[in-house]
């Protein structure tokens, strides 16, 4: 197969090469090759409809594909047309049309080859029809009864007239019904949960397009109506001798006139007598003179004679005949829980029984003046408190104290003004958005806006949100500049907030000015150099930039800078830029200034001159070379000796008092300082020199920064024939010793501090060398100090933290370090000591020692200088634990488990993270986590951990908690326990009945009762097994939980058990009683 691919590639290359004619022209020193492409007939593209319909609706998507046969689409770019007008030329072969009426028309496409530039003919046309509006289905129903009763059937039908291919979706009370997508939906037997509003929609397509919803129809399902009993007199609690009227009626029924009523008191039917009057159809009952004997619950019952339907009992009404006085009711208006300073409030004290009452008011237990039924006042903080009242009638009658009302008076909140758009400095036609909100307030606030103290109105380009919390300026102008403030007022109340802080909006009266700069700013540049343009604007924001050369837009990044490498004269021209920034609409600046650029192709060659221009120089003479380039500017010069770059970068290279290393061949080259563009090398100049040798000065000791009394040894030597020279030593250029040997040794003190050099004198001839390079000797005044640093700097840390100690001496080098804990050496060296996972055993005092050589106070070891002790204390990190909150009483009423995470060893406030199977899967971060079949189908092991701001920042991870089959096993155990209990009760009842009905037998025929049941003693002796005990005490259940096992131990409500399915959940149970009894026992003791 791979051989076939190789031969195929070779064949394609051959064919492509054959389609090109190559012509070569000779122009003196260069060859020019021209390739001529072979022409061929342009193909015709094919337009394909990828979706299923030509007639579509607004927002529905249609996908068209333009394809060229016998060619790869990746070789072509495509243009799309609608009704002969080009709509896009982005090159894509796929056009996705989001339908709206303006996109109705005839579509076609054409292609252009990316490399050959060939343009195809136009494809065939494809007509797209777009309806102006979404369709709306028509919903009908088989029954038009206003109220229907359980057991009846009904069928709904949904139709959409335009277009085809529809699938239907049904909705009940706004929720989709999971049924087939038929246009009919039938309920064969109506139940109460079928009540509600029904409507339908239609959809079609891969990314479904939905029609509008149909008109909804209401299905009212009710049981036969229950009569309503009403009290027609003023009070249900009356005094003896008063008249009471009651009525009974059937509401919401089209047959209400056909119902007959019967009256009951305390479940006993009432009949008409001298004190009871009942109307003809029983709809009303009058008690003429009530007494204590008439007290009780009154009910009525209705019967629909035409359909033989009997209702249940009505609501009951308890008639109370008082022999004591009532308790007043205290109410507040308005009834808002919180009130604001400046609002008005009215408190009313009502006595619901009888009349003629005088009222007494109390605030915080103290009496208030006035006897009216109401109190009204304008609030300030002095009115905050608890209010109650009581009523009196005559001189001897007084009610009990009323209920207490707490009046909470708050200060009016201050609004917060924020900018929602990107900029406070905008230009004409840009949009601006601001928001005004009150913190910790309800949603009933509306807002008023002001600019420079004048209220802002919704005119021209200014608009507001529904509650005026958002101010939008769609097209800014200079008149919109100013300082904006806002204030809130509570709807339906007289509460107004204070004015917010100011937000200053500046709208410029004209577009900003762009400044174009070139770097480097050379007027003439050369091929190979890089040029950098910067487009600067005086207002900083998120601008995008466009770049132009000779008025033609360049394909460049939208950044404020544009850089490129010059490749020839094609880069010559005038450059400019302009900027845009996103908005609605997009804002565009004017063009910047223009900068011309001239590009040369050939590199220049520098000229070199020598002064003095001689063939040979001797040691001590001076020589200089001069290098120059006469084209453009900005040159920095580089010198080369024997092809190696020289350290000098000036236009003139001067060598003062030449030496032997200066001999060789010299030339120069110029480099642009900013572009690093290099010229050609100049012609060469040869320099011949003979030089006197220079001695070499070295230090024999290891350090040049020493302490008092340390021995210092220096050595001065010539590279060759050193014994023929004598040496003179200098400190800070002062002579220390003359005509000495090669070494200088002394015991260091502060007076020896300085720069040391040496020079040589030839013993046989008066030739003096230059001084050697200096060596700097530094002698300290005192012993060094050791510094110990701890990171992090906490005296108390927790297990699992990391701590590092750093020990260092800032002076000199060659130091060695040792570490100690509580005075005991640690098996570590180096200036750093790190404990990556601290434990409580790491608590203690830490010190270090440093030293070098055998100096100072110690004689036998290198470590001479100690730090002060630094102490750290390690405490145990608190442990998180998981508790199961779902109890026994909930096992049959819930499908979920509620887990709680708690750090019991800490009094700090914690947040919590949850993990499943050891991985955190974006679970809830709260204290509680609910395991449900929906969020945890497989239900496994859970852990949690506490996190907080402060130290410690996290706790230990809790032990894993298994949830599998927990609710299921609790249900099973409770069910088994219930069955056993029920069986015991049945056996007891059976035994009692058997004793009662059985005839006595003779003593010799009487069976021995002792054998009927197993006694407690026998059971304990024989250890008879019980199924419940075997289930609860199963070895597999009681075995310690393991990570690889699915079963847990059933012993408590917090023991984790696996859940096998989303429907089954597990519980645990206490089996102590079962373990004690072990099953059924004898009634005989």
Q: What does the DSSP assignment read for 944-972?
A: EEEE-SSSS-B-BPPPPEE-TBHHHHHHH
Q: Which of 95-104, 400-409, 616-625, 783-792 has the lowest mean pLDDT?
A: 616-625
- pLDDT band for position 254 (cuts 50, 70, 90): low
Q: How confident is the model at residue 1083, as a pLDDT?
A: 34
Give the whole-angstrom CA distance, residue 94 versus residue 792: 60
1082/37: higher pLDDT: 37
Q: β-strands 405-410, 338-340: how paired?
A: parallel
Q: Count of residues for the chain? A: 1085
- The two tokens of residue 978 are 């219930």
- The two tokens of residue 811 are 């002076």
What does the pLDDT average to over 134-149? 83
Q: How confident is the model at residue 576, as a pLDDT?
A: 92
Q: β-strands 237-239, 317-322: how paired?
A: parallel
Give the whole-angstrom CA distance, residue 670 versus residue 11: 51
Residue whose structure tokens are 């850089």: 563
Q: In Å, what is the CA distance from 839 to each residue of 182, 824, 951?
A: 70, 18, 16
What does the pLDDT average to over 224-240? 76
Termini Cα distance of the chain: 93
Which three-class secondary structure string do you get for 495-542?
CECCCCCCEEEEECCCCCCEEEEEECCCCEEECCCEEEEEEEECCCCC
- Provide the β-strand partners of residue 386: 406
Q: How confident is the model at residue 1081, as a pLDDT?
A: 35
Phi/psi of residue 201, each to 5°? -135, 165
Q: How confident is the model at residue 199, as a pLDDT?
A: 95
Q: How confident is the model at residue 1002, as a pLDDT?
A: 52
Region at 550 (left for phi over 0; alpha for psi -120 to 50; beta for the rest): left
Q: How confident is the model at residue 231, as a pLDDT?
A: 87
- pLDDT band for position 739 (cuts 50, 70, 90): confident
* Beta-carbon contacts of residue 231 (< 8 Å; ≥ 6 apart): 244, 245, 246, 317
For the whole model, what pTM was predicted?
A: 0.32
Q: How confident is the model at residue 672, as a pLDDT?
A: 84
445-454, 523-532, 777-786, 1049-1058, range with greatest mean pLDDT: 445-454
- pLDDT band for position 1077 (cuts 50, 70, 90): very low
- pLDDT band for position 577 (cuts 50, 70, 90): very high
Phi/psi of residue 192, each to 5°? -60, -35
Cis peptide before 585 (omega within 30 of 0): yes
DSSP-derived 3-state class of residue 101: helix
- pLDDT band for position 1021 (cuts 50, 70, 90): very low
Region at 1023 (left for phi over 0; alpha for psi -120 to 50; beta for the rest): left
- The two tokens of residue 388 are 């109650």
Which is nearest to 836 in space by CA: 794, 807, 804, 805? 804
Question: Is residue 786 pLDDT above 60, yes or no?
Answer: yes
Q: Which of 620-624, 1020-1024, 1045-1049 has the lowest mean pLDDT?
A: 1045-1049
- Residue 348 near residue 319 (C-beta atoms within 8 A): no
Q: Dihedral angle at the C-alpha atoms of 604, 610, 611, 617, nearest 10 degrees?
A: 160
Q: In Å, what is the CA distance from 108 to each residue of 7, 53, 58?
A: 39, 17, 21
Give the whole-angstrom CA distance, residue 2 versus residue 8: 10
Beta-strand ranges (E) seen in 75-233 are: 76-82, 85-88, 94-98, 105-113, 126-130, 138-141, 154-159, 167-172, 175-177, 184-187, 196-204, 209-210, 217-219, 228-231
Phi/psi of residue 857, each to 5°? -80, -30
- Provide the β-strand partners of residue 437: 416
On average, the pLDDT of the chain sits at 79
Question: Is residue 588 pLDDT above 60, yes or no?
Answer: yes
- Provide the β-strand partners of residue 462: 473
- pLDDT band for position 590 (cuts 50, 70, 90): confident
- Residue 405 near residue 330 (C-beta atoms within 8 A): yes
Task: For residue range 828-839, list pLDDT tens digits in order.
Answer: 778 888 988 888
- pLDDT band for position 484 (cuts 50, 70, 90): very high
Q: Which of 395-399, 528-532, 713-717 has the lowest mean pLDDT?
A: 395-399
Q: Which of 161-170, 345-354, 368-377, 1008-1017 has the lowest mean pLDDT?
A: 1008-1017
- Residue 818 near residue 743 (C-beta atoms within 8 A): no
Q: Dihedral angle at the C-alpha atoms of 812, 816, 822, 828, nearest 10 degrees?
A: 140
* Beta-carbon contacts of residue 476 (< 8 Å; ≥ 6 apart): 426, 427, 428, 429, 430, 431, 432, 461, 507
- Residue 896 near residue 920 (C-beta atoms within 8 A): no
For the chain, the maximum distance between any two Cα atoms, rounded to a whole number of angstroms, is 165
Give the whole-angstrom CA distance, residue 266 versus residue 318: 10
Q: How far is CA 569 from the centre of its chain?
A: 53
- pLDDT band for position 197 (cuts 50, 70, 90): very high
In 10 A of CB 251, how many CB atoms? 9
715/673: higher pLDDT: 715
- pLDDT band for position 1012 (cuts 50, 70, 90): very low
Q: In Å, what is the CA distance from 577 to each residue of 125, 428, 534, 593?
A: 41, 20, 9, 8
Give the whole-angstrom CA distance, residue 713 versus residue 757: 13
Give the whole-angstrom CA distance, residue 1083 versus residue 1022: 17
Q: β-strands 503-507, 425-426: how paired?
A: parallel
Task: For residue range 324-354, list pLDDT tens digits in order.
Answer: 677 888 899 888 878 888 888 999 998 877 7
What does the pLDDT average to over 282-292? 85
What does the pLDDT average to over 108-123? 88
Q: How confident is the model at residue 336, as a pLDDT?
A: 81
Give the whole-angstrom CA distance, residue 623 versus residue 282: 139
- pLDDT band for position 306 (cuts 50, 70, 90): low
Q: How far is CA 838 from the centre of its chain?
A: 33
- Residue 57 near residue 131 (C-beta atoms within 8 A): yes
1038/792: higher pLDDT: 792
Rg (CA), the chain: 51
- The two tokens of residue 709 are 């009394």
Q: Which of 114-128, 337-351, 625-639, 1066-1080 has the lowest mean pLDDT?
A: 1066-1080
Q: Which of 502-506, 689-693, 1000-1004 has the lowest mean pLDDT?
A: 1000-1004
DSSP state of 3: H
- Residue 450 near residue 486 (C-beta atoms within 8 A): yes
Q: Dihedral angle at the C-alpha atoms of 995, 996, 999, 1000, nearest 10 degrees?
A: 60
Q: Which secondary structure element, helix H or strand E, spans residue 457, and what is its range?
A: none
Give the whole-angstrom CA distance, residue 966 versus residue 971: 9
């Amino acid at each position: 197969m791979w051989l076939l691919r190789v031969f195929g590639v070779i064949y394609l290359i051959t064919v492509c090469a054959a389609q090109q004619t190559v012509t070569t022209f000779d122009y003196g020193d260069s060859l020019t090759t021209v390739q001529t492409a072979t022409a061929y007939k342009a193909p015709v593209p094919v337009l394909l409809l990828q979706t299923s319909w030509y007639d579509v609706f607004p927002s529905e998507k249609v996908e068209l594909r333009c394809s060229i046969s016998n060619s790869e689409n990746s070789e072509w770019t495509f243009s799309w047309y609608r009704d002969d007008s080009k709509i896009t030329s982005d090159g894509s072969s796929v056009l996705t049309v989001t339908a709206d009426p303006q996109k109705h028309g005839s579509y076609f496409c054409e292609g252009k080859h990316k490399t050959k530039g060939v343009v195809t003919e136009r494809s065939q046309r494809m007509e797209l029809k777009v309806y102006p509006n979404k369709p709306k289905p028509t919903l009908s129903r088989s029954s038009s009864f206003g109220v229907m009763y359980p057991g009846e059937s009904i069928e709904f039908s949904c139709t959409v007239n335009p277009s085809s291919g529809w699938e239907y979706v049904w909705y009940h009370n706004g929720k989709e019904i999971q049924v087939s997508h038929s246009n009919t939906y039938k309920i064969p037997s109506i139940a109460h949960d079928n009540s509600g509003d029904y409507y339908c929609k239609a959809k079609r397509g891969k990314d479904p397009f939905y029609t509008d919803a149909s008109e909804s129809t209401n299905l009212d399902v009710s049981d036969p109506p229950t009569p309503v009993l009403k009290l027609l007199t003023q009070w249900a609690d009356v005094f003896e001798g008063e008249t009471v009227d009651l009525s009974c009626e059937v509401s919401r029924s089209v047959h209400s006139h056909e119902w007959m009523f019967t009256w009951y008191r305390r479940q006993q039917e009432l009949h008409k007598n001298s004190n009871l009057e009942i109307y003809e159809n029983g709809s009303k009952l009058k008690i003429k003179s009530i007494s204590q004997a008439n007290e009780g619950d009154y009910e009525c019952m209705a019967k629909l004679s035409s359909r033989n339907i009997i209702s249940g009992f009505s609501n009951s009404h308890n008639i109370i005949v008082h022999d004591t006085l009532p308790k007043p009711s205290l109410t507040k208006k308005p009834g808002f829980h919180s009130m604001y300073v400046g609002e008005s409030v009215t408190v009313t004290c009502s006595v619901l029984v009888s009349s003629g009452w005088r009222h007494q008011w109390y605030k915080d237990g103290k009496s208030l003046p006035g006897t009216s039924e109401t109190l009204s006042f304008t609030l300030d903080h002095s009115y905050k408190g608890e209010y109650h009242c009581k009523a009196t009638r005559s001189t001897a009658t007084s009610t009990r104290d009323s209920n207490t009302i707490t009046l909470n008076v708050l200060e009016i909140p201050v609004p917060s003004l924020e900018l929602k758009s990107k900029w406070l400095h905008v230009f004409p036609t840009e949009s601006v958005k601001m928001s005004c909100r009150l913190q910790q307030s309800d949603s009933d606030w509306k807002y008023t806006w002001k600019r420079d103290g004048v209220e802002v109105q919704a005119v021209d380009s200014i608009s507001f949100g529904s509650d005026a919390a958002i101010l939008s300026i769609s097209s800014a102008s200079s008149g919109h500049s100013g300082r904006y403030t806002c204030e809130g007022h509570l709807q339906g109340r007289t509460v107004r907030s204070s004015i917010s802080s100011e937000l200053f909006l500046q709208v410029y009266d004209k577009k900003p000015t762009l400044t174009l700069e070139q770097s480097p700013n050379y007027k003439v540049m050369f091929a190979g150099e890089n040029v950098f343009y910067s487009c600067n604007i005086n207002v900083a924001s998120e601008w995008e930039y466009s770049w132009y050369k000779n008025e033609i837009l360049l394909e460049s990044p939208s950044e404020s800078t544009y850089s490129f490498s010059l490749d020839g004269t094609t880069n010559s021209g005038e450059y400019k830029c302009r900027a845009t920034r996103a908005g609605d609409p997009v804002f565009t600046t004017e063009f910047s200034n223009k900068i011309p650029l001239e590009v040369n192709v050939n590199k220049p060659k520098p000229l070199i001159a020598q002064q003095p221009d001689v063939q040979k120089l001797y040691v001590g003479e001076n020589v200089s070379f001069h290098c120059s380039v006469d084209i453009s500017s900005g040159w920095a010069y580089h010198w080369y000796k024997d092809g190696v770059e020289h350290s000098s970068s000036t236009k003139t290279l001067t060598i003062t008092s030449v030496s032997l290393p200066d001999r060789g061949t010299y030339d120069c080259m110029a480099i642009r300082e900013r572009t690093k563009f290099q010229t050609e090398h100049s012609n060469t100049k040869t320099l011949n020199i003979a030089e006197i040798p220079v001695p070499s000065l070295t230090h024999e000791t290891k350090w040049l920064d020493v302490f008092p009394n340390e021995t210092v040894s220096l050595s001065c030597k010539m590279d060759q024939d050193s014994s023929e020279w004598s040496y003179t030593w200098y400190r800070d250029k002062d002579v220390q010793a003359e005509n000495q040997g090669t070494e200088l040794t002394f015991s260091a003190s502060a007076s020896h501090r300085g720069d040391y050099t040496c020079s040589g004198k030839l013993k046989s001839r008066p030739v003096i060398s230059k001084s050697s390079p200096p060596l700097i000797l530094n002698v300290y005044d005192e012993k060094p100090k050791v510094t110990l640093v701890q990171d992090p700097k906490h005296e108390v840390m927790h297990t699992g933290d990391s701590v590092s100690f750093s020990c260092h001496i800032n002076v000199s080098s060659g130091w060695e370090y040792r570490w100690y804990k509580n005075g005991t050496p640690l098996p570590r060296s180096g200036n750093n000591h790190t404990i990556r996972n601290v434990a409580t055993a790491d608590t203690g005092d830490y010190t270090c020692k440093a030293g070098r050589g055998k100096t100072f106070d110690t004689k036998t070891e290198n470590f001479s200088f100690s730090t002060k002790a630094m102490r750290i204390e390690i405490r145990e990190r608190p442990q998180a634990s998981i508790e199961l909150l779902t109890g026994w009483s909930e096992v049959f009423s819930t499908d979920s488990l509620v887990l709680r995470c708690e750090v019991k060893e800490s009094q700090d406030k914690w947040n919590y993270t949850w993990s499943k199977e050891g991985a955190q899967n974006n679970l809830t971060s709260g204290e509680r986590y609910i395991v449900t079949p929906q969020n945890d189908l497989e239900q496994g092991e859970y852990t949690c951990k506490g996190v907080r701001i402060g130290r410690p920042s996290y706790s230990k991870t809790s032990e894993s908690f298994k949830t599998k089959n927990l609710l299921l096993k609790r249900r099973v155990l409770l069910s088994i326990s219930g069955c056993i209990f029920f069986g015991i009760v049945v056996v007891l009842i059976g035994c009692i009945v058997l004793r009662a009905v059985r005839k006595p037998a003779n003593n010799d025929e009487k069976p021995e009762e002792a054998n009927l049941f197993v006694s407690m003693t026998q059971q304990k002796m024989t250890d008879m097994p019980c199924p419940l005990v075997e289930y609860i005490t199963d070895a597999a259940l009681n075995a310690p939980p393991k990570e690889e096992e699915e079963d847990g131990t059933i012993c408590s409500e917090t023991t984790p058990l696996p859940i096998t399915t989303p429907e089954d959940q597990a519980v645990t149970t206490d089996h102590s009683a079962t373990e004690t009894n072990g099953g059924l026992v004898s009634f005989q003791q």
